[in-house]
Amino acid sequence: MNIVPNYGKWMAACCLATFCGLTAHAQTSAKPPLIAGEALKGESVWIAPELKKVTDRPVRIVVWFDQQFLGDGKAYQRRAKEFANSGRRELRSRVVQSLKTLSAKSHSEAKNDLTALQESGAIKDVTPHWIINGFSCTANAEGIEQLAKVKGVKKIFAGRRSLRSVQAQAPAPLVKSPNRPSQTSSKNLPWYISKLHADKVWKELGVTGEGTLNIVHDSNFIMTPSLARSVYTNAKETPNNGKDDDGNGLIDDYHGYNFNTRSPNLTTRKLKGDATDRKNLHGTSCAHIICGVETETGMPQFGIAPMARWAGVITSADIESAVEWAIEQGADTYSMSFSIPHLGETRSHWRKLMEHGSFCGLFFVSGAGNFAMSTKVPVQMRTPEDIPEAVFAAAGVQKDLSRTLFSSQGPVEWKTEHYREGRVQKPEVCAFNHGVPLLMPDGKVIEGRLNGNSFAGPMFCGTIALMLSADPDLLPWDLKKIITRTATDVGPKGVDYQTGHGLIHCYKAVAEVIRLRELRKASQ
């Protein structure tokens, strides 16, 4: 959900959509029931300590209502056991509807109070969320004090300043995707493909990533011929007609969306100066590694899951909106090759929304970070890679399997007001983060140009896409067991804080997925 100028209008639309959904649900007995939320503990409203320093200067904040899908800090593991026998797709449908229903109820109860605060100017720029039951807004000290009195409000976090542009944006071009290749290529493959045994998955298991959608969250995308063949198109949106055809609040979101500029433009910087500058090609390279495909003109296939689809999202502060969009498009993985330090208590907000997203069937993946030489443990791994269970972090090694000195190490530490585990094992696994080849938009390959765990994460995403292509109903907690148990130990014996469980082994992971899938079918 996005910034809504009129909260009342948003509430009316939200309640109508929920009512229609519940009516349809009641009329179709075959559909499973909604899942009850859980109450947040505590008698008073909790306000992040840093917000108590706010004066008259308005700041961005995030508010949680008192009912959430996952209540306390241990709810993820508890509810994972509750739904251990579910299929991912069925669970996604139930959780999404449950989250939206919970959100509509809480917002309905708080509607009058929030509308009054908006009209008085105490708060502004209200952005309702359903992935987390709450909203974001801008408020000063008085506004924060008044929000604490609103019905259902339970926690108030510091938000992030949005870089949203108010300038008009030119329409983004609709990519006329060339014919998809009928099979994977074996020519001029980058070296990491064979090192991770992805090519063996294609050839021997016949699994190529077909049927999966992978979201790449970055800051710039150049639509190369390779990516044009694999880009996702939102079939419910008519390109460049200036209308919100699918009713999700976004105009022309057909290949992804730029939440900073509120436009479909995914190219924020064109190639200039040093064309190989990773600032220009960072998002492009991540997408190439996940599902870059061979072109008819001979541009090589760089993707771990070459028959998968991808879409791009850009946002500096609206992570909730981006994740909601991904889930509503039916996305499978969500790649985050970025790292945010010093979030303080707001780490809990990021963690909760990604835990909810995980129950919606979305696999979040991040590189482990590149801060081993500049930062001490336990903060070498920052947000989002420091999130346990719901976010998979990939550290990196070199081509010869030796550890890269800059690769961030675990453990991470959770001692926020909401999550109290203390030290937590991270990363989960490793891939390659040094000397990775760069595929230029013109098809030229520059060997050894890319360094950083930004590129290990997409290798993890591509592997997950292969696994989900083999079994779309694979649950996040089951996938984690498979990919860690099949990894090749490359560091100190056993699980370690540098390489996790070891180097991803695509073939062993997908083969195990297929084995377990067939066992499940046989038992039904």
Distance CA 477, CA 79 (A): 11
Query: Following DSSP, what letter does each residue of 280-348 receive, concatenated?
Result: HHHHHHHHHHHH----TT------SSTT-EEEEEE-SS-HHHHHHHHHHTT--EEEE---B---TTHHH
Angle of helix 506-523 relative to helix 456-470, nearest 10 degrees, comes to 30
> Token pair for residue 28?
């179709």
Distance CA 437, CA 425 (A): 30
The region, left, alpha or beta by phi > 0 then psi within -120 to 50, assigned to residue 292 is beta
Q: Which residue has the tokens 């804080």?
A: 497
Distance CA 522, CA 524 (A): 6
Distance CA 13, CA 232 (A): 28
Q: Is 194 a catalytic residue?
A: no
**H or E element at residue 46:** strand 46-47
Q: Is 218 a catalytic residue?
A: yes
Distance CA 213, CA 202 (A): 18
Q: What is the dihedral sign for C-alpha 91, 460, 500, 327?
A: negative
Helical segments of 292-411, H only: 319-328, 346-359
Question: How many other C-beta atoms can be found within 10 angstroms of the C-beta atom of residue 425?
Answer: 14
Torsion over CA of 216, 272, 180 and 327, rounded to 10 degrees?
A: 20
Instruction: Indicate which residue of 255, 282, 356, 501 is catalytic.
Output: 282
Q: Is 335 a catalytic residue?
A: no
Distance CA 510, CA 206 (A): 10
Contact by Cβ (8 Å): 101, 28:
no
Determine the residue type at 98.
S
Instruction: Indicate which residue of 218, 253, 332, 496 is catalytic.
Output: 218
CA proximity to 138, closest of 63, 65, 61, 64: 61
> Which amino acids are annotated catalytic?
218, 282, 454
